[in-house]
Each structure stands twice: as C-alpha cells, then as structure tokens.
Copies of this chain bind each other. A is one copy, B any other.
Amino acid sequence: MATASPQSDPLYQQIAERLRADIAAGSLAAGSRLPTIRALAAQLGVNRDTVALAYDALAREGLVEATVGRGTFVRADAPAPAAFEPKLSAGVERLLELERGRVRYAAPAGVVPLHSLVPDPSLYPVDEFRRALNRVLARGGRELLSYAGPQGHAGLRQVLAERLQATGMDVAPGGLALTQGASEGIALALRLFASPGETIAVEEPTYHNVLAVLVSLGLRAAPVPMRDGAADLAALERALERPEVKAFYTMPTFHNPLGTSTPLAHRRALLAAAARAGKPVIEDAYEMDLRFAGRPLAPLAALDGAGLVVQLTSFSKSLFPGARVGAIATRGRALDGIVALKHASDLGGALVLQAALAEFVGTGGYDRHLARIRRALRERRDALLEALAAEMPEGTSWTQPEGGLQLWVDLPGGVDTAALLPEALREGVLFAPGFQFRHDHRPSSGLRLSYAQADAAALRRGVASLARALRERLRGGRAAEREPLAFV
C-alpha cells in the first residue's frame, strides 16, 4: 500500500496516512473497529510497534479512540484540528528537521537485523538482576525510593570507581556522577563546555545521535576525519585551534560506527594536541567493558595527568540498557558543573536501579555476565568476518574489531549505501547506512554491521543477502539513484 526509504515518510506515518484516507473516505466509518495491532502487523508484514505508532498518531489527532480490552474505534466526534499551533524554539525546529531525515527501520519477520546496537535481550541476566533488586529493596527500601541526589547512589559509585581505578584512572567515588546511560552523559558534557552557537570537534564518521544532541543544543560540529581507525591528528589540531571549538568528543575504544580502537601512542598524541590547544576531551567509553580480543588499552582518562578528560561509561551495551545507568568521571569545577546541570535536568536518577546494579556488580554478577557475553560476541564477530570474506565481492573492505558490537564495511563501485538499503531489505537484511554518521549527511559507500542481535547462522544469512544486493547493484541491474522501497 505504501513505500518506504530513508528519504520518504516513516513507515508508521504511511500506515497512519492510509487509515486517515480510509476514515475520510468513509470506508472506515465512525464507530467501526480498526483491525487489532497484531492482525494488521501480520497482514502488512511489519513490526507491531510500527502499527501501534500509527494508531497512536491517529488517537492523538482524535480520529480514533482506544478502549482497553475492546480495541480501537473510529470516533464519531472527530474534533476539528486544534486552533492553536504553538511556536517551537529554534533548536527544536532544527531537531525536527533532522529527525525527518532519520532512518526508521521496520524489520519484517525473517529479516536479519544487522542495523541495531541494542544488545540481544536473550543474553540479559534477568533473574539475577531481579534478585539483586529484591535484596536491596528488602534491605533499604524506603531510602531507595526517595531522591538519589544529582551524583547518584554512593555504593554504585564506589564499585564503579574501583573498576575504573583498575584501568589506571585516578578516580574516587566522589569524582563520579551517575547518568541515564552514556546518552545523558553526552548531553551533559556538551552543555558543560559549549554554549549555543559554539562548536564541538567530532570524529567523522561519529555516533549519529551525538549529531542530534548537538542540533538540539544549538551547537555546531567540526568534523575530524577518521584515518586508519583513529582521529586524524593534523585535522584535530586545526579544529582545536579555532576559538569557537570548545571540546573534542571521541570514542577511542570500539568506535561507533567503525568498531576500531585508537592505538596507545595515538591516544597520547590526541591528549598532547588537546593540552596544547587548552581544550578538554570528552571520552565516550560506552563499550569499554566489551573487549573480547587483543590487549586492553588504557582509556584516555587514565593517560590524562592534567585533568583534560571527561569520561563517559555505561552499562547499556555491556549489560542491558534498561537500568538507564552510565557515569561521568571528572573533577574540580567540571564536576561541580556536571552535578549542577544534572540537578537542573531532573534532580537525579533512580536510586533503586542504581542500588541493584551496585549489588549485581559487587557480588560478581557483572563479571560473570561479561565473561559470557564476551564469549558470545567473539563467536559472532568471527562468524561475521568469515562470512564477509566468503561472500563479499572484490573491492569490499571492513574493520576487525577487538570488542564491542559493530564493524564497518566499505563497498566498492561508489555505491551509496542509503540507496542500497531498500534492496538489501528485499534480500532479507538490514544495516545502518553510512550517511547518517556524517555531520552533513552526504552519501557514503560505508555501512555499519552490528552483531549485537544476530547469532552466527543469522549473520551468515545476513551477509549473503547483503552480497546479493550489492552484486545486483554492481551489475547495473537496478537504477543507480535512490529509489523508494515498495514495502507493504
């Protein structure tokens, strides 16, 4: 019924639009019941969440009404559109503009999901964490249901500080502030150093959501190209010399999207460049705990004698995202600033989840989980590398991560991977196209493959699908320009 590509409307909006037309035309009459979410999802071959989003949009517009246990109905009294359309702030308008270009994936059944960095739910230690939650609530429940304060649970900061000390960092529990994952850490650290209109140096490619955070804060990105898996030093020095550039955001360990790690000597050189420029470094160490091969590399924060580095860590990739717990390690006035910003953002996080994590880490559960998940990820990475070597056409290259959840593939023949995505989906695989990791969204022949959610067999199927789509494209069997995807 509709078409989808990274450039067209999100799938759920296409579904909503079709239903809107049906209601307007009377083929879905006032009072009639819409199909159940499950039934329509199966009929269209899309995710139930996508249908639920479409129904939500219609409900928000007053066209339909959900009634618990009975279903969703077309309203008899669908109101006129709201008379008042508030003027949104300039930052929010820019953010909504960016959002319109965001890739929204819908993975029909059978499609291999190599696009997502969400860790595999089948690997979450649910029962062990539930028991930790019970123990801490039984022990100290009342206090754990009050405010955490902006720095968060002291016990979790204690065990985290010990783990960070083991990487060589000089950090005390009082030097940590807990955040809602590294995500919130990014937003707080950017606000710490830069005011609207100012600029942050970022690697290119970089984590696409950092670009959204920059836009939402009215900040600009100064791209520093990645060369051989690390930020180009000369380009970094030029960027940091510019007075409007206030800090450098980097992912030196298991870079997103590249999967590469910055070598030790290069880390020291990055810090020396930052020291010469007198600009701080935001080290996003979001996957640091997921090393499954090679020798550990000291994080920037451990190499930093001067106080240049603000470091972000997270449990979201190494355990599960649902606790929404990460941490910022910093010191001095930067720490005072982070604490004040966190207080002004939401007063502090959820103490009970922080306490349960402290219990889980402190009793060895986290280390046991890391041993399991590193083994699983290493097997998956190996399967992915073998499949790439076996299936991909000549001229394709890829990175070889020693940890984390993703690697980067560069395709031959000048292929625009955003244009390839619909074809790959038809062949049965999803990936993250490279354009979205660039500050200006220009086309890219690169793509990110994640082994977070697919096991070895699925990885082999997915790579075979990707190779088929690419061969077809290289044979010129499809139009070279991006085309809409006939989806449902």
Tell me if A192 counts as interface (CB < 8 A to partner B): yes
User: A66-B172, A121-B146 are contacts. A88–B321 as well, Cβ < 8 Å?
Assistant: no
State A341–B341 Cα separation when bound (angstroms): 16
Tell me if A113 counts as interface (CB < 8 A to partner B): no
Q: Which residues of B contact A215 (CB under 8 A)?
A: 344
Interface size grouping (class) on chain A? 35 or more
Tell me if A233 counts as interface (CB < 8 A to partner B): no
Q: Are A181 and B347 in contact (CB-based, < 8 A)?
A: yes
Q: Which residues of B contact A397 (CB under 8 A)?
A: none
Q: Are B89 and A194 in contact (CB-based, < 8 A)?
A: yes
Tell me if A30 counts as interface (CB < 8 A to partner B): no
State A183–B349 Cα separation when bound (angstroms): 11
Tell me if A216 counts as interface (CB < 8 A to partner B): yes
Scoring A84, A121, A137, A247 by chain B CB atoms within 10 A of each residue's CB, the highest score goes to A84
Q: Are A68 and B193 in contact (CB-based, < 8 A)?
A: no
Q: Which residues of A approach B to under 8 Å, CB–CB? A: 52, 55-57, 59-60, 62, 65-66, 68, 79, 82-92, 95-96, 99, 118, 121-122, 124, 126-127, 129-130, 133-134, 137-138, 141-148, 154, 158, 162, 170, 172-175, 179-181, 183-184, 187, 191-196, 198, 209, 212-213, 215-216, 218, 246-247, 275, 278-280, 305-308, 320-324, 331-337, 340-341, 343-353
Q: Are A246 and B89 in contact (CB-based, < 8 A)?
A: yes
Q: Which residues of B contact A88 (CB under 8 A)?
A: 192-193, 333-334, 337
The smallest beta-carbon distance between A336 and chain B, in angstroms, is: 6
Q: Are B191 and A89 in contact (CB-based, < 8 A)?
A: yes
The smallest beta-carbon distance between A179 and chain B, in angstroms, is: 8
Chain A to chain B contacts (Cβ below 8 Å), 29 pairs: A60-B175, A68-B162, A82-B332, A83-B306, A83-B307, A84-B280, A86-B307, A86-B333, A89-B198, A90-B195, A91-B195, A92-B191, A92-B192, A92-B340, A95-B337, A96-B333, A96-B337, A118-B146, A144-B322, A145-B321, A146-B322, A187-B344, A212-B340, A212-B343, A213-B344, A216-B340, A216-B341, A345-B345, A353-B353
Report the 6 A-B pairs with minimum CB-CB distance, sorted nearest first. Answer: A56-B174, A82-B307, A145-B322, A59-B172, A180-B346, A126-B141
User: A195-B90, A307-B84 are contacts. A134–B130 as well, Cβ < 8 Å?
Assistant: yes
The smallest beta-carbon distance between A379 and chain B, in angstroms, is: 21
Q: Are A82 and B306 in contact (CB-based, < 8 A)?
A: yes
State A97–B163 Cα separation when bound (angstroms): 34
Selected from B162, B184, B280, the residue in CB contact (under 8 A) with A345 is B184
